[in-house]
Structure 1
């Protein structure tokens, strides 16, 4: 049954994504804000398909910590789900993503024109300069920067070193870092065809103090995200349905 529901979801997901991307392509010729609401609508469609077809719901805790203006989100990355959900939870998000994604037909054009920050991970100092310049511009425009400090999707229970890009962005923008944990990989696994029913939790933690030194900031960021993620994976979190931008979300 899970396999069949996953097949139906994948068909609906890729079909809807391709159709919406084609419809949006002409808007990419105009100013960036033309794409903001339609892309948020696409994310809403994906979350609806997950709920209706796969039985996957969303719960957000700590939504009061989400920035409504300029902000810097450092989020745990376990699943492709994590690249969708922030388009619904934030008013004007900009993702830090790998440059290779811009080569994907349709998606790459829309990502570029919606102002996503594409980074060449082999680019060294020039890539870092681009990240900081684009990050400052996004902050000045009042956007919410979403970065995955692990740099890639990581399966639940696996630990990899956090990358320093988030520290550089925090220093360049002066924005407090908002840590976020999740258990999304339990239900939509890394490179997994099957989508398992359940409730994905996105746990938004309080912003870290801006006065922390670099080493202390990275240490505390990783410790808080990993501790909360471990708690979610252990099943300690209480599932309570609330409205979308309250203390939690049930979609």
Structure 2
């Protein structure tokens, strides 16, 4: 296993070299175009290439494949796509399926030269997380404008990447956005953290999966909506994770993942 891990670490390093290198180059190109010309078809073409190429490089260099299903559940017109967040993979894997997405991005990313300019030209919505709840009205205003431009809002309701099978921690931003924008919300379940976890030094072989689930209709009260969203994303993400583990994955389960699996087994037996 140590030899396999060492080989996989080398494969991962090669991927990061390509991933970071081309991201910098494309950000300079797209950012320069964005700051001069604003939103352009060429800018969107660069974004689509970036997403497609990252999926290809992941598969070729690390053995991590990609499978996305259920995009027929995305309704026509404006909506919110609320995705589980376990990996950087989540960003570029679902991008091609969302039409014209407007991602919610933290302020720090939007302030990076060239990268931030490119993000602004691709309809990204900035949020200053240091402001807490005070940042939500401004985020909703930007989201409403994006919906009016024909975008679909992409948000990660937990606000940060979570480990596989970790307890869910959904924030109130998604509830405020749902009640204010009055559009359907499409939940997205996934299991990418099994293969490319947060702060992981190694990306493991296997097929990461994401699934767009049936939309939640607008008009529900906040408590009911949050319950529906959680009950859609969490069980399906758990199912995708356990299914991958049953089929066998390239990575050895770490101590925390084993603890969560043991806890789930104990709950099932009681």
* TM-score after normalising by structure 2: 0.83
Cα deviations across residues 69-118 of structure 1 (Å, max 9, x unaligned)?
A: 32210000000111222322222111112111123232122112322111
Structure number with the bigger relative contact order (C-alpha 8 A, sep ≥ 6) is 1
Name which one, 1 or 2, has greater alpha-carbon Rg: 2
Q: Does 1:23 align with 2:37?
A: no
Q: Does 1:128 align with 2:155?
A: no
Q: Pairwise mapping of residues 44-123 of structure 1 onto structure 2 (< 5 A)?
A: 44-123=52-131
Size of the aligned set, in residue pairs, is 239
SS of residue in 2 equivalent to 1:57: strand
What is the aligned partner in structure 2 of residue 2 from structure 1? 8
Gaps spanning 5+ residues in structure 1: where?
Answer: 240-251
Cα deviations across residues 173-229 of structure 1 (Å, max 9, x unaligned)?
A: 211111111001111111112111111110111001223211010011012111001
What is the aligned partner in structure 2 of residue 225 from structure 1? 233
Find the partner of 1:196 among 204, 208, 211: 204
TM-aligned CA distance change 1:224 to 1:237, over 3 Å: farther
Q: Does the CA-based 8 Å contact 1:86-1:93 persist in structure 2?
A: no
SS of residue in 2 equivalent to 1:180: strand
TM-aligned CA distance change 1:124 to 1:6, over 3 Å: closer
Give 1 or 2: higher helix fraction. 2
What is the aligned partner in structure 2 of residue 173 from structure 1? 181
SS of residue in 2 equivalent to 1:123: helix
Q: Does 1:13 align with 2:14?
A: no
Q: Does the CA-based 8 Å contact 1:231-1:237 persist in structure 2?
A: no
Shift of 1:42: 1.0
Gaps spanning 5+ residues in structure 2: where?
Answer: 1-6, 248-270
Question: Distance between the aligned counterparts of 2:246 and 2:203, measured in 1?
Answer: 22
Shift of 1:235: 0.8
Question: Distance between the aligned counterparts of 2:31 and 2:216, measured in 1?
Answer: 38
* TM-score after normalising by structure 1: 0.89
What is the aligned partner in structure 1 of residue 256 from structure 2? none
Q: Does the CA-based 8 Å contact 1:95-1:147 persist in structure 2?
A: yes
Question: Distance between the aligned counterparts of 1:68 and 1:8, measured in 2?
Answer: 39
Q: Does the CA-based 8 Å contact 2:107-2:127 persist in structure 1?
A: yes
